[in-house]
A and B are shown apart, each in its own frame.
Chain A
Amino acid sequence: MDTSSSLTALAQAAFWITIGFTITGACIAVFARNILYNVLGLALALTGVAGIYLFLGSLFIALMQLLIYVGAICIAIVFAIMLSRPLHLDTPPRPMPKVVMAVAASAVFFIGLAGVALKTKWVPAIERSTDYSVVTIGHMFLTRYELVFEVISLVLLVAIIGAIITAGFSRRLSS
């Protein structure tokens, strides 16, 4: 019996470890002075979140998370950092009142959010199926939630074109 309890204890520990990873990654991403550390912090946080998704039982989403966020977006940000060379730019000292206000506002917001989350009595749906398989996701994506699929593809298309234009035009201007 103790293996199952130790297994759960192990899982428990793993869960808290991933949460720890996410939190530290987030803090690095936000509070570090050097932009590179921010990006790395972000990557760490995102992998942590992917881990949490695992605990939430949907393997596919965790993998996608790793693929899209950590793989694509962080790399894109690194590209941006290289192109805009913020490193050697002078980073003016961060005005203290601004930071204080930011933290205070976010704290208020967090407490509000947490309060809402705790106070409301979440009522789970009556009958709940636990089918997490990728097949159903794919099936549902193309039948009932077909609109989401269309819209997100359209958004991506527009985003790509937009990115090319804004980046492309400014190059012609500055060169």
Chain B
Amino acid sequence: MNSLNTYLIISAFLFSIGLVGVLQRRNLIGMLISVELMLNGANLNFMAFNRFLTPEPVVGQIIALAIMGLAAAEAAIGLSIILALYRKMHSINIEQAQRLKG
């Protein structure tokens, strides 16, 4: 039941769901949520390896913690950008933010 592969499959699935969310959502917050999901997928992967493979489980846990911290920082920044974008463009629809068009 809880062999390594199932966990890997689940984290891959989580990651892909997050990916779908990022690719097709049109408003930034949706994308942010999907990114959180992807990060969790990765975290799950680490913990799975930690549980089944690594010589000492501490390493995986430390990395998981680091990723959580990172995700928190990323969410903070993401949200403030969304706010700034909203104030400037009065909408957070990603397709309008095309100032970088070549």
Contact = CB atoms under 8 A, between A and B. Distances in A.
Interface of B: 1-2, 4-5, 7-10, 12-21, 23-27, 29-30, 32-34, 36-37, 40, 43-44, 47-48, 50-66, 68-77, 79-84, 86-88, 91-93
25 contacts: A15-B1, A15-B2, A19-B10, A30-B20, A41-B33, A42-B33, A52-B7, A65-B43, A69-B68, A80-B79, A84-B92, A86-B27, A94-B26, A101-B24, A105-B23, A106-B23, A114-B9, A114-B12, A128-B55, A130-B57, A155-B73, A159-B76, A163-B80, A169-B84, A170-B83
Interface string A128-169: 111110001100110001001001100110111011101101
B5 A166 contact: no
B36 A73 contact: yes
A173 B87 contact: yes
Majority-rule SS of B interface residues: helix
Contacts of A113: 12, 15-16
A168 to B, nearest CB: 9
B10 A30 contact: no
Contacts, number: 251
Given A94-B24, A163-B76, 9 more contacts: A29-B33, A30-B21, A57-B57, A72-B75, A106-B19, A106-B20, A163-B77, A163-B79, A170-B87
